[in-house]
């Protein structure tokens, strides 16, 4: 599920799309950026955190760091899945949001 994480097409890509570099390691994931991760990235990182802990062979320091990030990542995933009621926003001719649509 996490491997074919879809990129929106170039035109739709947002500049703030935070990517976590798998080569750096989960410990280096900045906790602050977790809050802005798109679902597929957060999910993949969470999966990685679990796999890292499963391999064992980690210092206490690393275990805690990975665990802490895992918690933050699962919270991020959860918040994306449990968001409040879906809102519909209207756009104008320029594609700019002008307000909410009452349903």
Binding site for other proteins (CB under 8 A): 1, 4-12, 14, 38-40, 43, 46-47, 49-50, 53-54, 56, 58, 60, 63-64, 66-68, 70-72, 74-75, 77-97, 101, 103
CB of residue 79 vs other proteins: minimum separation in angstroms? Answer: 7
Closer to other proteins by Cβ: residue 23 or 89: 89
Closer to other proteins by Cβ: residue 21 or 54: 54
* CA atoms within 13 A of residue 96's CA, in its CB half-sphere: 2
Q: Which of 99, 80, 76, 79 is nearest to 89 (CA)?
A: 99
Contact between 34 and 72 (Cβ < 8 Å): yes
Structure tokens at 94: 């320029």
């Amino acid at each position: 599920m996490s491997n074919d994480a879809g990129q929106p097409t170039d035109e739709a890509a947002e500049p703030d799309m935070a990517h976590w570099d798998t080569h750096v390691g989960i410990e280096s994931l900045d906790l602050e950026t977790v809050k802005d991760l798109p679902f597929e990235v957060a999910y993949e990182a969470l999966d990685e955190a679990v796999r890292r802990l499963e391999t064992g062979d980690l210092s206490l320091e690393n275990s805690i760091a990975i665990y802490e990030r895992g918690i933050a990542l699962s919270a991020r995933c959860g918040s994306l899945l449990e968001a409040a009621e879906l809102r519909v926003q209207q756009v104008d001719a320029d594609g700019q949001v002008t307000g909410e649509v009452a349903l």
